[in-house]
Each structure stands twice: as C-alpha cells, then as structure tokens.
Amino acid sequence: MDYVYAPGKNHLFVPGPVNIPEPVLRAMNRNNEDYRSPAIPALTKTLLEDVKKIFKSTTGTTFLIPTTGTGAWESALTNTLSPGDRIVSFLIGQFSLLWIDQQQRLNFNVDVVESEWGQGANLDVLESKLAVDSGHTIKAICIVHNETATGVTNDLSKVRFLLDKYKHPALLLVDGVSSICALDFRMDEWGVDVALTGSQKALSLPTGLGIICASPKALEASKTSTSVKVFFDWKDYLKFYNLGTYWPYTPSIQLLYGLRAALDLLFEEGLDNVIARHSRLGKATRLAVEAWGLKNCTQKEEWFSDTVTAVLVPSYIDSSEIVRRAWKRYNLSLGLGLNKVAGKVFRIGHLGNLNELQLLGCLAGVEMILKDVGYPVKLGSGVAAASAYLQNNIPLIPSRI
Amino acid sequence: MDYVYAPGKNHLFVPGPVNIPEPVLRAMNRNNEDYRSPAIPALTKTLLEDVKKIFKSTTGTTFLIPTTGTGAWESALTNTLSPGDRIVSFLIGQFSLLWIDQQQRLNFNVDVVESEWGQGANLDVLESKLAVDSGHTIKAICIVHNETATGVTNDLSKVRFLLDKYKHPALLLVDGVSSICALDFRMDEWGVDVALTGSQKALSLPTGLGIICASPKALEASKTSTSVKVFFDWKDYLKFYNLGTYWPYTPSIQLLYGLRAALDLLFEEGLDNVIARHSRLGKATRLAVEAWGLKNCTQKEEWFSDTVTAVLVPSYIDSSEIVRRAWKRYNLSLGLGLNKVAGKVFRIGHLGNLNELQLLGCLAGVEMILKDVGYPVKLGSGVAAASAYLQNNIPLIPSRI
Amino acid sequence: MDYVYAPGKNHLFVPGPVNIPEPVLRAMNRNNEDYRSPAIPALTKTLLEDVKKIFKSTTGTTFLIPTTGTGAWESALTNTLSPGDRIVSFLIGQFSLLWIDQQQRLNFNVDVVESEWGQGANLDVLESKLAVDSGHTIKAICIVHNETATGVTNDLSKVRFLLDKYKHPALLLVDGVSSICALDFRMDEWGVDVALTGSQKALSLPTGLGIICASPKALEASKTSTSVKVFFDWKDYLKFYNLGTYWPYTPSIQLLYGLRAALDLLFEEGLDNVIARHSRLGKATRLAVEAWGLKNCTQKEEWFSDTVTAVLVPSYIDSSEIVRRAWKRYNLSLGLGLNKVAGKVFRIGHLGNLNELQLLGCLAGVEMILKDVGYPVKLGSGVAAASAYLQNNIPLIPSRI
Amino acid sequence: MDYVYAPGKNHLFVPGPVNIPEPVLRAMNRNNEDYRSPAIPALTKTLLEDVKKIFKSTTGTTFLIPTTGTGAWESALTNTLSPGDRIVSFLIGQFSLLWIDQQQRLNFNVDVVESEWGQGANLDVLESKLAVDSGHTIKAICIVHNETATGVTNDLSKVRFLLDKYKHPALLLVDGVSSICALDFRMDEWGVDVALTGSQKALSLPTGLGIICASPKALEASKTSTSVKVFFDWKDYLKFYNLGTYWPYTPSIQLLYGLRAALDLLFEEGLDNVIARHSRLGKATRLAVEAWGLKNCTQKEEWFSDTVTAVLVPSYIDSSEIVRRAWKRYNLSLGLGLNKVAGKVFRIGHLGNLNELQLLGCLAGVEMILKDVGYPVKLGSGVAAASAYLQNNIPLIPSRI
C-alpha cells in the first residue's frame, strides 16, 4: 500500500498536513470506544478547556468539529451571519480566494478588498470603508491571519485598532489555519470574534478536526443568525455541552486522544517557545532564500510569515518542476505554487512539530534541486546563512539541560 | 490519559463506533503526507472505485467526505434537493428522528410518516401517498435502512417496488449508516439514488469519513439543486475528480490508508460472507434474548436487524443501569436506550469486525448484569441458545482450512 | 503478511505469549533511540527498581536480559553454580523436563525427582534428601513454581520450610515463568535466591526480556561460579550498573518503554488485585471443566494453577484436534498437550492482561468445539458454572466507581 | 514516559540502533500470537529462506536467535569451536576487543593480532601465521567486517585469498554487525563460515534478533564442538526446523513480522541499491569531514567505512562534549568515542534506513556543534562538499519515476 516507497524519512515541508510527532501517533494508535461512556466526556472537557490556550483566550467557547479547515470556515460564517449580510473580505492569495468563494456561495454580500499576491491585506481600504460605514452595514471583517499560498502574515492588531478607532461593531472572523500554534495569536487581546484552525496544521495532528474559538459576542450573534446549517450548527454542540455529553454526533476517538497528546506537547514546550521556534525556522529559511539570490514572494518584511515561505523562481524555471524533482529524487515534499503564482513559486512549509536540523536538511535539498533545474546556486550557501543565524539562536532543550 | 483503565480488552458492543481490526490500526499508524503528491491521488482512485462494491453499485459515483454520518445526511439532501421540496420521510426511532429534524431545518417540506418505535417504516402510507401524487410533488423518499435506536431493518426493495408500481420519479435517499457492509444492500438493483454510511460503523474504521454513493439520477438532480452548501458540495469534488487530484481540501491521510486496509479485509472475507456473519451474529443474539425471557424492541421478525438488537427490559428495571453496570463491572460497552425508549431498552451492537466468540463473551456478560440488576435470568441460558445455533452454522475460516 | 486472516479478534488463550494491552502496544510504537543518551539509563533505573516489586523483593538485584525464558534459566544456573554441582530438580511436566535437560547439558549433577505428570513436586523426597545431606552436597534446588504443561503450582513456601528445617544452605532457584505477575509470589519471604520470568507471560509484553531477580546470597554465589558464560554473565551487567549506563550491550528500546507501561498498568491495578483476578479466572475455568464432566490434568486441588488449566479429554478424542479446530473455526488459540500428555490434554491459558468476559467467550468456544469433536457436552453448562461464580465475585472496576 | 522531550524528529546518527522505517513500525504494531499455530511457522519459513539473501548465500543455514549481537557472537563461537581451540583474532577497536574478550572467557586459545586503532586487520601477520601452520592448529579466523568504533572496514576477500593460498582449513567467522545489509558482503563467494548481524543495525529493526548464517562446513563443525551451550545451541534449532515448527522456544512475534517487512523493503529497493546508497552516504560524510579540516580516524582509504565515520577532533576539544551538545541543543544523536579513542573521536553512523537529506541535516548540525565547542569551522562547508558530490550521484527514486 505504499505505492511509492523510498528509503529513509519523507521530508515533509508542505505547509500542511505537517509532521506528526511520535507521542501523538502513539496516542492515536487505539481501538474505538463508546463515546457515550463517562471517559470520553471527561476527556472532551479537558480538551475544550485547554484548546482555548492555543487561541490565547479565556472568554471564548471552543468547538471541535469533525471536519477540515473549509468546514471550519463554513461553521464560522453560517453561525454568526445571515444571508445578505455585508462582509469585508481580503483577497491576497489562493486561500483567501477560496474563503471568499465560500462566502459568496453562502449568499453573503462580500465586499472584496484585493491586493497583489505577495502583499498583505490592504488595511487602508478597510479604514476607508469603516470610516464611512456609520450605519454599520458591515457585519463582519473576514481575514486570513496567514495566507498559506504566498507566505503573508497580516497584522490583526491593526484590524482591531481600526475597528476600535471607528467604534465599529463588525465581527472579526479570522482564518488562523496556518498560524495558530505557530505564530503569535491573541484572540482576546485583539478582539477576534471567531478564530479557527485545522488539526493537520501547526497542531501536528492528522486532518479531521476543525477547531474553532468563538467570542461571547460571536455566540450572541449566533442566536440571531438565519443562515441554514445543521451539521455545523453551534447550537447542537452547546446543547450537548449543557448535557455534559458534549457530542451531537460521533467524534473521532483517535483524534481526541491525539489532540490531548498534541496539547500536552505544546504546553510542555511552552506556547511562547513554540512561537519562538517558528520564528527561528522562518528567519533561517528567509536567510537561505536570500543567500541563494532568490526573492521571497512576500513583498515586505512586515508580512513575512514564520510558517511558510513562498520562493519566487526565475522566469526560465517552472517551479512545479522543483516540486516534482524534490519528490522524485530527494524524498522531499515541497508546496506547489497555486493559481496566480503557479509555476512561479514553490513553497517551504516550516510549521508544526519540526526542528532546525530537519529544516537544514530540507534547505540542503532545495539547493541541490535548484542546481538540478539549472539555477546557478552555490551549494551550501543557504545552509551556511541559515546555520550562522541558528547557531547563535537555538536554545538548549529545556528537558535536557 | 486512559482515565478509566480496566484490565483486558474493552468489550465494545455499542452499535458504533465499532472495533477496528489490527490490520487497519496498523495501516493508519503513519505520519502525514503531502496529499498533492502523486501517491495520494493514486490511492484515492482505487478507493473511490472499490468503495462502490460495498454499495453493490457499478453505476454510482462515490464521495469520501471528511465528516460524520450527520454530515453525510446533509450532503445527500443539499446536493439533490432544493428548499421547499417535498420529502416523504419515515420516523421510526431516534436516528430517523434526527434526520427528519435536519431535513426540516434545511427547509425541506417534510411529510413525516411515523410508526411506533419498534416498527418499520409504514410503507402502506407511502403507497397511499404515491398513489395520489400524480403531479409528482414528492421529490424524494428518505428512509433509514436500519434504525439503530430500535434495531429495525426496513425493506428497501419494497420501496423500490412501490415507486416503480406508480412510476414515481422521486429520488430514493437511504441512510445506510448501520447497514452498509453488514446487511444485504443493493444500490443498483433497488434503484437507490443516494446511499451513505460512516466509517466508524460496519467498515470498522475510526470516525471521520462520510461515505456516499450517488446514482446517475442523483448526480443529474444535483445540477439543479439550489440548496446552499459549500463544504458538502459534490461539484467541488467532481471538479477535482476531473483534474485527477481528487481533493478539494485536505483529506485524512490516515483514514485513506485505513479505508484501503478495511476494504481489503472485507474483500478478502468476501462481502457475502461478511453479511452471512452478521446474520449469524444477529440470529444468535435474538436467540439469547428469547432464552432470557426478554422481548426484542423490534416488533416483527420481518424487521429484525442483524446489526443491532434493542432489548426491552421489565418495567421494574432501568435499562440505563444495565449499561452503567456493564461498563463499571465488566468492561462491557452496551448501547443506551434513546429518547422514547430511554430506560426501557438497552442495545447490543453486533456489527463490524466481530466474531462469534466475542459475541458469546458479551452475552455471558449481559446475563450476569441482568442478574446484578435483579432480573431472574438463568445464567448460561442465552449463551446456550446462541451456541446451539452457532455451533451448527459457523463455517471454517477459509484461510485456515 | 497476515497469512491467515479471520474476522474479529483472535482469542488468545495459550499460556504464553499472551495478550498485550493497548497502552503497552502504544508505548512500544516508537523509533529506536541512542541507548547511551541520558534518557535510556534514566528509564532503566526506574525499571530495575520497579521490577523488583513483581517479585515482592526489596533486597534482590534485577536483570533485564535480551533473551527468552530459556535464556533466563541459563543465566540463573550459570551465574550461581559450577559444573559438577549437585542440583535437586523436580520433573513434573514438559517445562521442568526442558529445564532439567538444560541443567544436564550445562554439566551440573542433576538429582531428578520425578512425579507423575499432573502432580506437583514431590517434596517428601526433597525432605528425605535434605535430611541426609549433612555435608551439603546439594548446591541448589531447582523448581518451577507453575508447570505450564500440566497446570500444576508448587508450594514454594514449603520448600523454604524444609530448607530451614534442615538448616540447609542450598540455593533456591525458581522458574516463575508462568507465575510471576499472576500468582502469589514472595521472593524475600520465601527465601528464593533466583527467580525469573519472561516478558511474554503474565507481564503481557512481547517476547524478548528474560527478567531475573537474584538474592544477595545468589549474587555472592555468582562471585565463585566457574560456569562458562559471557552473554548471560551478571558481572557484565553489574559493571555497567556501577557506571550508571546499565547496558553491556544494546537493549530493545521498545521493550524498555513497553515494560515501563506494563509495570504502570500492574501497579495501577494493584499487584494483589492482579493476583485476585487470576484467582477468579482460574476458579471459573475449573468450574466450567467440571460442569463439562471433564477432568483437570492436575490431580489435587492443592496444585491447581490459576494461570493455566490442562483439561483431560476422553480417550476417544485427540486433544490436538480440539486445538486445531479452535483455530480453524473459532479463531481461538488453545494450548496443545505436550510430550507425555500430547493428544490427551488441551490447555487453556488464563494469564496476563485478560478479563472475565474474554474468558467466558473462550469457554463458550470450547463448549462448541467439544461438541464438534463428538463429546456430549451440554452447551452453556460451563459458562453457566463459571458465570455463577464470577457474578458473585467480580469487583467493580476501581477507576470507574 | 518521554523524559526528554524535544520538538521535531530525533536525528539518530549513532551506528546502531538505527532508524526504523514506518512500514516496519507498522508491521510490528500487533498483539502476540500463538507461535505454535500454522501461521508462525509459515512466516518463519519465508524468513529463514529470504534472510540468506542479505548474506549473499545460497548454501548457508540461517538462525534467528532472540538475542543481541553479543549473543550472536557467542552462538557462532560455541557452536563451531571447542574449548582450547586456537583462534586468530584481530584487535582493531572496541568491538573486536569485546569479541576477543568473549573468546577468551569462553576458553578458546586466542592468538590476538593487534593493530593501531584506525587501522584494519593486519593481514600480513595472518599470512605469516598461516604460512607456518602446516599442522592446522588454527581452527578459526575471527574478524569484524566493519569495526564500529573506528569506522574501519576489513577486506574479507583477502582473508579468503590467504586461507586458500595456504590451503588452510580454518573456519572463517565474521562479525558483520555493522556491515551486513549496508556494505558489500558475499558469504558464499568469500567462503565465510559463520556471518552474523543484529536486527538493530542496517536491517533497521529494534534490537532483539541475532541473525546468523552458517556454511555447510560450519554446520559440520558444530557436530563435534564440545563447547557448553544450550540457549545458543544450533542443534535445538535444527531439530525444530526438521519438525517444521521452527522454534525451540518462544520467538518475538513482533520482530518476525518486522523482519518480514524489513526484508520486503530491502528487496524492493534492491540490495545492490541499498549498498550503493550507503556508499553515497559514506562518501558524502567523508567529504564533509575533509571540508571541515578534520581527520578521519580511519587511516587509509582502503579501510574507509560506508556505515560509520569516526571523526578525530583537535586535542583541545573533548569529543564527548560534541556528543552531549548534539543531544542537548540539536536533538541529534552522535556516537561517542570508545575506550582508546574516548574523547578523541565522535562518530557519525550512516547506516540503515536513511537518506541523503537526513544526512545533510546531520552534517549541518555537526557544523554548528563544532562552532559551539570552539572549532573554527566554516559553516556550510561540509554540507557544500557533500552536496556537490550527492547532487551528481543521487539516482531518481525508482518507484517515482
């Protein structure tokens, strides 16, 4: 069943799904259980509580929905908004594009603010819209924290600043799929109303859980939302929360235990240390890209992403060939360029349960592939640049001091 | 993390989630992979094709949606029907009730045909409705093949017979959650338009895949359906099927490999042998219930279910106490009575990857529990009745002859 | 690679290797590690200490040797004795026979005390030998605590009583392979000098660890033993214990973590509760055998074993056919009769991580097989007898009260 | 139970135990089984046959002994030789030293031929001994194919050449622990009489199988050997081979299935491709060492090992500090210098299921560590040198072309 065996580890550097740590694999290696026995509710209770911490929220209500990020998007929208509601939404890459497509198909009135791919959300336009919206026709701002297609991180604190500046009551809905558990994310401080991620991203689990945190304001909004939904309806969850049985339908027993293990690892490392690690990995990757003489798809430093780097290749190279070759020759999985940047960028995902030497192995691989496809890279140059930074910045492993 | 450790195996006899066989656990014990590499589409292609066999369909189109049975229901409805469409739907127990609730909340016009819990769908009423519906206002018949709450199996061939008799074009949508891979199910022969199941039922996987088979007529209907949906939209799947990449969003790598292993085991055993095994397990369970002097919640033999038996207890016993005691003293997981039959029935699930000696251990346990709660059972009586039947009917294991 | 797939769980009732609990399988599901890093010595230290508890010893020194029970025997003998040393050894079944064969091939002077198979060690003969051995020519008494071939448990406290009575300094070497972690075993109280078991027995691990506990007297004896050994030499272990690195050669990383998990489960259940559980399982099995009208190979109640029951079949039945049929028709693994009792007995192993409903499933299976092979058993009779006892004696599961 | 958690993969570059590939971990993730059922002998038969291929032998007889490499040594010696027999044995590092120690403690008459650590076996001395041994007092030549402590590979074909030249009948016993399945090894062609390895080395399994191949001449010799042994006695195995049940005592079920998977992976890759991969990994490592300006402990190219490289550090650096730091800061496991070279060398193991990008990650790590400990390395230099070679020599992955 392993159609494409290759010796050694697969070097998984797509921006999701990401590497699952062994303790999590172990925790999930189990038979099914009756989810109506006392054990699963007891476990669920700890999860719903502890998962708030990855959002840095104490006031939120969390949902663990058996779905993907796409389902989590749908859940966020249909529970808080009603058809026809005006949304301001930022189009800055393939994933914000897909979310906007969903918003439109769900019959919201989407006010799209587009940026060139490689740029962040245009918050000036947001400000201008807020400034004139004294009637509060804008019901929600939808924004991806980190656009996975281009490696762009948006400044959410600024969005909050603008909403506050204009005393605007719009909900703030955030796609944190490729940010939460990896980038600095502050649900309560930034006044995010719904934040969401998927289990296969920085949490380093298999796909299968859409993880959502809703503010009290979002919950309040959900009471009057008229969007049609059943599977994604928070009300069904809340009803079972009140009953203490937690599940309106059957959860994945394995993912619940896996999530418990994943959270335990995150808390053992310390969420701030996890974020610092991603910061090191992102910086090291960018230094390598620079050393190779290549450009980052992300156009300004303020938007640099610490979870994924999209690398622009010279026009005489097809970036898809880099991805193909990585897989066929080096057992390395890189991310393709998508849509507008197809053929133009390849992506290095550096999120989740990953360490520096894994990244350096990947960077060494990318160098060889660049040479394979005819780009005049100096072998070792990216690794040297990344190492120089890392050697000064990697801390001792706390459990081993 | 095992809050409630008890020595030995947990005897899992709820009607889902069910026991996962070791080869499937092994197949799922793996890291994530890039789902855009050539490996996952190649695997997916075999799955979409082979999964048709469990529906006994050659003409259907299959979908493996990262969701539960509840999501699969929603997918079946929202892809084939439009708001306001008239549906005839049978209320015979808790799961048909929940599906009807979903149908209503999705704004269909649901014509509910109710039976006493313990009876099958009232097909006489269906006939009378079809007979007068010359205008074809009925757009779909929604029916559970096997009502998990009461252990009632409906006769789908008769539904088809009636539709044909009245040359009625209504779609036939079937919840096969607790039947498919266990009971005789014939999608093409019975003219079922959408059939669906969940991975955690007779397929014996973890929760996480809603598995759907749609007839050509259902696919045709999906082109004009105006129900709002994005996550569950078949069109997005069909688009990626055409591209050969198969996935509109990230699937669970582990469940795909698990499904491959589960199908391989089913085909190795032979689907007809799997069904015959469930028939033996169901019959043996009913013989035990009879020997105990208890009644089956299912009121007539024609509706007896081979995947779950709901056992009525005398009025002086609370059936919930049986379930609690099973878990607390015998490490046995039984199903609770739900809603109208709460406290009145307990349920023995006998579906999935299960053999006769496992069932006999369960039955021996139930006997002790009955005695625990004050029912004057003769210990060994149910096991004796079940064994007498089984000893005459268990075949040799083909691989070991 | 599963040559002989059969649906459902394999019912494993051989007296070893036994069922591995899921938490132990999980703990072993891991990559290799550097055994010279600080982690493995730290883990090993806890294991060497905690494993003493299963011997009920505080003064012993423990060894975890990468070998089987046969190797553990060899280690016990060659470290404490010298070629030509006189040993009194009891031949009461196949495993004591094999140990005696080893003793002879290792050039000890073995004074064999034989009993009929089905009887315990003849301690009267031992007494007579001790009584006349004022010159202390007997250097060791070798005895199996539980003879796995016949289901006979010897009274070790009586052996100690006799040694004390005659103030005899002989070492007391005990094969506890099918007793330790299941039967009451008291190393220090009974003055056992070397006790040993294998990981695949009541500890419920895979094969691969010979687990040995040596008294201070045994360690003292090891200093002057002239038996040739290197791999099994305790001195090499003691040297590395002193260095704090613990391992003279590479251990199995997986088994070390597995042993940690196995011990944790035993201690969570409580060793006395584990022993009480085995007592229930043994008693229930014997009641079933009696109800079937069959004889226990063990001739007197004082020798009844709570870990394995050898059942005599009528002369017109070949017990091997029972074992074959169990596997071929019921996915049940029973133990064969060995050597002198080949064809005459089959064995039910009821040791390790096992609960009552598992045993009842097995007993129900044995009843059907007995009928298959022409024995006029009353189906359900054994289960009824066992259940009647168990229903009165099974405690609530402490973690679930 | 993971005392020393660190994020990301552990980079395991000790020369054993080595990385276990996922398909092997999966194959071992299983419950115990009755090893006397028909399944295990059928599996064992394929293993005993297929394992010959890793020795490149068609005429040998193989043994899978539940032990380590140390036990396999003992098995090789005690089955073919008798106490007092003269052996010529080469002392070139810690592992040959340990084997010689064993030979001496087993009472053989060991004629030690010592070389400086870092040099290969002195075959000139061997020749001189053979030349004068017309009486054939030398009964065996014992030689490690690859000395793991110093990274020295001996030329076995030359040993055979010398034996043939002098028509000397001495047995040729070879420790292939860190060579077989990684280096070119030709049992039949080189007239090796006993070759052995351990499962945790290039086979990439957990520790627990001593794997031995004996030539017909070795088997013949075993008939007259008078060395005392029971656990390691080949006769017991041969007896059970003849019975078709294969096992004189309980094997590890998990390791048998794991070995099946490991062999399948080796054969899928192709043994010659496996050897070529190790050759690439060895060469790349040596190029990096050279680029760093460090010396290989191995003194001449003819002895360079493709499975382990021992790197000499300047006298002002303690190589143990490099190993400690690797683990504490980079989650990298390197091999310590042992005995005479303690503190002077650190070792990079590059054997088993490993690919080029994993190695480059390790090399990048070593560079940072060298800088950490004050060695003036140019970061990236080793990776550059290794990459330049690898980029020209890595083949496409056959399954992915």
CA B337 to chain centre: 17
Give residue-wise pLDDT tens across range A124-143.
Answer: 999 999 999 999 999 999 99
Question: According to the model, what pLDDT value does residue C2 have?
Answer: 53
User: What is the C-alpha separation between C389 and C392, in angstroms, rounded?
Assistant: 6
User: What is the C-alpha separation between A221 and B45, in angstroms, rounded?
Assistant: 42
Pairing of strands C194-198, C171-175: parallel
Hey, are the CB atoms on C30 and A30 less than 8 Å from each other? no
Give residue-wise pLDDT tens across range A302-336.
Answer: 999 999 999 999 999 999 999 999 999 999 999 99
Query: What is the pTM for the complete model shown?
Result: 0.98
Look at the block and give the residue holding tokens 């299960």.
B354
Tell me phi and psi for residue C361, to 5 degrees.
Answer: -60, -40
Quick one: which of B397, B185, B150 has its CA closest to B271? B185
User: What is the C-alpha separation between A19 and A60, in angstroms, rounded?
Assistant: 28
Shortest CB distance from D368 goes to which of A29, A269, A391? A391
Q: Above pLDDT 90, what percent of chain A? A: 99
Hey, are the CB atoms on C31 and A22 less than 8 Å from each other? yes
Task: Please name the residues in contact with D311: beta carbons below 8 A apart, sequence gap of 6 or more.
Answer: D289, D294, D295, D296, D297, D319, D345, D346, D347, D348
Mean pLDDT for chain B overall? 97
Task: Of B227-231, C2-6, D57-61, D261-265, give the lowest mean pLDDT range.
Answer: C2-6
User: Helices marked H in D194-333 — which ranges?
Assistant: 216-222, 234-243, 253-269, 271-291, 319-330
Cβ contacts of C375 on chain B, cutoff 8 Å: none
Question: According to the model, what pLDDT value does residue A3 have?
Answer: 64
Burial class (CB in 10 A: 0-12, 13-18, 19+), C13: buried
Residues B205 and B47 sit within 8 Å (Cβ to Cβ): no
Give residue-wise pLDDT tens across range C306-356.
Answer: 999 999 999 999 999 999 999 999 999 999 999 999 999 999 999 999 999
The number of C-beta contacts closer than 8 angstroms across B and C is 182
Query: Would you say residue B107 has pLDDT above 90?
Result: yes
Quick one: which of B165, B167, B199 has its CA closest to B180? B199
Question: According to the model, what pLDDT value does residue B1 have?
Answer: 43
User: What is the C-alpha separation between A362 and D354, in angstroms, rounded?
Assistant: 14
CA A227 to chain centre: 25
Residues D375 and D313 sit within 8 Å (Cβ to Cβ): yes
Mean pLDDT for chain D overall? 97
- Coil, helix or strand at residue D337: coil
Over range A94-103, report the average pLDDT. 98
Burial class (CB in 10 A: 0-12, 13-18, 19+), A134: exposed
CB atoms within 10 A of CB C243: 11
Query: Would you say residue A400 has pLDDT above 70?
Result: yes
B25 close contact with A: CB closer than 8 A: yes
Query: Would you say residue C186 has pLDDT above 50?
Result: yes
Q: Subunits with at least 3 CB pairs below 8 A relative to chain D?
A: A, B, C
Mean pLDDT for chain A overall? 97
Between helix B271-291 and helix B253-269 the angle, nearest 10°, is: 80
Which pLDDT band holds residue C4 (cuts at 50, 70, 90)? confident
Hey, are the CB atoms on B68 and A230 less than 8 Å from each other? no
Cβ contacts of C22 on chain A, cutoff 8 Å: 29-31
Beta-strand runs (E) in A169-236: 171-175, 194-198, 210-214
| DSSP label of A112 | E
Instruction: Give me the residues of C, 104-123, that contact D with CB < 8 A.
Output: 105-107
Q: What interface predicted TM-score (ipTM) does this complex get?
A: 0.98
Hey, are the CB atoms on C30 and A26 less than 8 Å from each other? yes
Question: According to the model, what pLDDT value does residue D94 have?
Answer: 98
| DSSP label of A186 | -
User: What is the C-alpha separation between A260 and A265, in angstroms, rounded?
Assistant: 9
The number of C-beta contacts closer than 8 angstroms across C and D is 187
Hey, are the CB atoms on A25 and B29 less than 8 Å from each other? yes
Cβ contacts of A391 on chain D, cutoff 8 Å: 368, 371-372, 379
- Cα–Cα distances in angstroms (integers) from residue A124 to residues B130, B363, D51, in the given order: 61, 70, 69
Which pLDDT band holds residue A1 (cuts at 50, 70, 90)? very low
Q: Above pLDDT 70, what percent of chain A? A: 99
Question: HSE of B229 in the Cβ direction (CA atoms, 13 Å)?
Answer: 29
Element (H, E) at B97: helix B94-105
Give residue-wise pLDDT tens across range C100-148.
Answer: 999 999 999 999 999 999 999 999 999 999 999 999 999 999 999 999 9
Cβ contacts of D27 on chain C, cutoff 8 Å: 1
Question: According to the model, what pLDDT value does residue A393 have?
Answer: 98
Shortest CB distance from C254 goes to which of D206, D228, D253? D206
Quick one: which of C156, C229, C180 has its CA closest to C69? C180
Tell me phi and psi for residue C387, to 5 degrees.
Answer: -65, -40
Question: According to the model, what pLDDT value does residue A275 have?
Answer: 98
Q: B38 is written with which tokens?
A: 């050539």
The number of C-beta contacts closer than 8 angstroms across A and C is 18
Between helix D356-372 and helix D271-291 the angle, nearest 10°, is: 20
Q: Above pLDDT 90, what percent of chain D? A: 99
Cβ contacts of B20 on chain A, cutoff 8 Å: 31-32
CB atoms within 10 A of CB A49: 10
Question: How many separate helices (H) and strands (E) can be counted in chain B?
Answer: 14, 14
Which pLDDT band holds residue B4 (cuts at 50, 70, 90)? confident
- Cα–Cα distances in angstroms (integers) from residue D135 to residues A28, D84, D130, D167, in the given order: 65, 16, 10, 11
> Which residues is D11 bridged to in the sheet?
D332
Query: Would you say residue A357 has pLDDT above 80?
Result: yes
Hey, are the CB atoms on B7 and C361 less than 8 Å from each other? no
- Coil, helix or strand at residue A117: strand
Hey, are the CB atoms on B207 and A253 less than 8 Å from each other? yes
Q: How far is D23 from chain B (nearest CA, A)?
A: 8
Q: Subunits with at least 3 CB pairs below 8 A relative to chain B?
A: A, C, D
- Coil, helix or strand at residue D189: coil
Question: According to the model, what pLDDT value does residue A4 have?
Answer: 87
Residues recorded for chain B: 401
Search chain D and give the residue with CA nearest C324.
D37
Give residue-wise pLDDT tens across range A104-130.
Answer: 999 999 999 999 999 999 999 999 999
Task: Check residue D286 and give left, alpha or beta (phi > 0: left; psi -120 to 50: alpha).
Answer: alpha
Beta-strand runs (E) in A115-166: 138-144, 146-147, 152-153
Report CA dihedral (B297, B298, B300, B304) to the nearest 10 degrees. -140
- Mutation test of the interface with chain B: which of C30, C268, C383, choosing the one with the most B Cβ atoms within 10 A? C383
Give residue-wise pLDDT tens across range A155-181.
Answer: 999 999 999 999 999 999 999 999 999
Search chain A and give the residue with CA nearest C24.
A26
